Amino acid sequence: MYNQIKNLFLIAGVSLLLLNSCKKWEDHNGITDDHIAQNLFERIQGNPDLSSFAGLLAKSGYADTLASSRVFTVYAPSNAALSSVAASLESDMAALKQFVANHIANQARYAQSTEGLQRIPVLNGKYHNLSAIAIDDVIFSSKDLAAQNGVVQVIGAPLLVLNNTWAFAETDARMPVLQKVAMVDSLGSLFRTRAHNLRDESKNFTLFVLQDGAWQSEINRFKPFSNVPGNADSTIKVAGWLVVKDLAVDTLYKTAADIPDTIISRSGVRVGIDKSAIVSSVKTSNGVVYIMNKLEVPFRNKFRDIIVEAENYTSASANRLSNTYIREKRDSATGGTFKDVLVYNHGLAQFNLRYRLTEVPAVKYRVYWMALNDNINNMTAPFTQKIGVDSFNSPLPAYVTVPLNTYAEQLAGEFTLTNFRPGFNLFLTAANNATANTSAIVCNYIRLQPVF
């Protein structure tokens, strides 16, 4: 009896599933049956409200494309939508092809099946933001008009062919000159690889640009940190990089109201946005550009702590691998684990480990380390070690005692860099003797904190 009841429920479930499937197919057929024999061009040509766009399809050659066996979605502007742009396209075939291709996407994309916001490519290499009700904020006036090889969405405004964000910065007269010279002409490759590739049409970006006066003000603020002795051009170039690298994000803020009070750049810098400083905005094919008369980033936000993991040293003053230990320890205070480096019984006065840092700004640094002297080899006394700046035995910072069994971070001294350093050597240096129990070095991490 149990199995009979179970089978009845199973049959009922399958029947319900089949009924639902049939209903979905009937709904689909209800939309498509009347015009399923027509190709996309015929479907558009047969709609009196799309006659202007049909004419552009024919003149551009895309009528043949839409009459082929390939599948497309066409975002077709109504006659009223084309009234302001059709005439300007008549005499420029290249612009016409770009314009028409900007309205055609591969695949059949039914509005009723679109979930969330999608970034879709069109035939001219551009992309659009698509939702169930609109494409690039242009609302569908008629949806899901099916044809033999795709679907037509009727829109009430044309999809204009826009420059991408990088092309705007590179060629548009509205781009402020000083930031253009720095970002595009001087730092273009660096910006695209380490900030954002604003040429990428498949993504959305927001770029903040400064009017010339605001740009120069920021450069002047950052020049002291980018000082390259005897080379004013390099100093300005470094300052330009410090300013511009945090002015783009790969998030679309379509309007000023959408912009949060603080954005986070790719390098992790917090940039506060004063919306009252926005002078104008420009829509691009892959985002928005906001032109501003002020955008000051606090130094403390821009110059973050430099953390050096001590076990990741670049080199040692001598080969003492047999005396070097990468330890995994448990922090008695937090219960977590960490790795540190210990070099013991190396037999050399001022044995040292070198760390190579890059792009270090000219600023005063306070140095901290976490160095666990946990009765190494039954040692019962503390020992000393130091941080070397530029050389292993630099006078500052001085030697510091490493106390026994201390898990807390300790102050290891201070130093000031007066010049920007593209490359910079930091050393962890042992005591100036060869005695095992007093010349060990040990460290979990070194932290350089900028002081303003």
What is the per-residue pLDDT across 100-146, written as a single tens digit (0 to 9) for each? 999 999 999 999 999 999 999 999 999 999 999 999 999 999 999 99
66-75, 82-91, 288-297, 350-359: the lowest-pLDDT one: 82-91
pLDDT of residue 91: 85
> 82: which 2 tokens?
């084309």
220 sits in which H/E element: helix 212-222
The one-letter amino acid at 84: S
pLDDT at 20 over 50: no
pLDDT of residue 250: 98
CATH topology of domain 306-451: Jelly Rolls (2.60.120)
pLDDT of residue 26: 44
What is the per-residue pLDDT across 191-208, written as a single tens digit (0 to 9) for each? 999 999 999 999 999 999
pLDDT of residue 33: 53
Task: For helices 232-244 and 212-222, give the axis angle rounded to 10 degrees.
Answer: 110
3, burial (CB in 10 Å: exposed 0-12, middle 13-18, buried 19+): exposed
Q: Mean pLDDT over residues 383-409, rounded?
A: 96
- According to CATH, what is the number of the domain 36-155? 2.30.180.10
pLDDT of residue 88: 81
Long-range contact set of residues 330-339: C-beta below 8 Å, sequence gap at least 24: 331/407, 332/407, 333/407, 333/408, 338/370, 338/444, 339/309, 339/311, 339/444
pLDDT of residue 332: 80
pLDDT at 6 over 80: no
pLDDT at 164 over 60: yes
Residue with more model confidence, 242 or 332: 242
Place of tokens 């009979």: 4
CA distance 339 to 444: 6
- Reported confidence tier of residue 371, pLDDT bands at 50, 70, 90: very high
Task: For helices 51-60 and 93-101, give the axis angle rounded to 10 degrees.
Answer: 120
* Cα–Cα separations (whole angstroms), residue 244 to 172, 260, 434, 438: 18, 19, 49, 48
pLDDT at 263 over 50: yes
- Facing residues of 119 across strands? 129
CA distance 259 to 152: 34
pLDDT at 16 over 60: no
Residue with more model confidence, 136 or 36: 136
How much is the pTM? 0.86
Extents of the domains making up the chain: 1-26, 36-155, 165-302, 306-451
pLDDT at 5 over 60: no
CA angle 257, 258, 260 (to 5 degrees): 100
pLDDT of residue 9: 41
Q: Would the CATH topology of 165-302 be identical to that of 306-451?
A: no
Average pLDDT score over the chain: 92
Architecture in CATH for domain 165-302: Roll (2.30)
Q: Mean pLDDT over residues 43-54, rounded?
A: 97
pLDDT of residue 34: 65
* Cα–Cα separations (whole angstroms), residue 182 to 176, 186, 209, 436: 11, 5, 11, 54
> 113: which 2 tokens?
């099946």
- Reported confidence tier of residue 40, pLDDT bands at 50, 70, 90: very high
pLDDT of residue 85: 86
pLDDT at 2 over 90: no
Sign of CA pseudo-dihedral 441, 324, 369, 424: positive
Q: Mean pLDDT over residues 356-368, rounded?
A: 98
- Reported confidence tier of residue 29, pLDDT bands at 50, 70, 90: very low
What is the per-residue pLDDT across 272-281, written as a single tens digit (0 to 9) for each? 999 999 999 9
Q: Mean pLDDT over residues 80-109, rounded?
A: 92
Q: Considering the chain, what percentage of its residues have pLDDT values greater than 70?
A: 92
What is the per-residue pLDDT across 280-313, written as a single tens digit (0 to 9) for each? 999 999 999 999 999 999 999 999 999 999 999 9
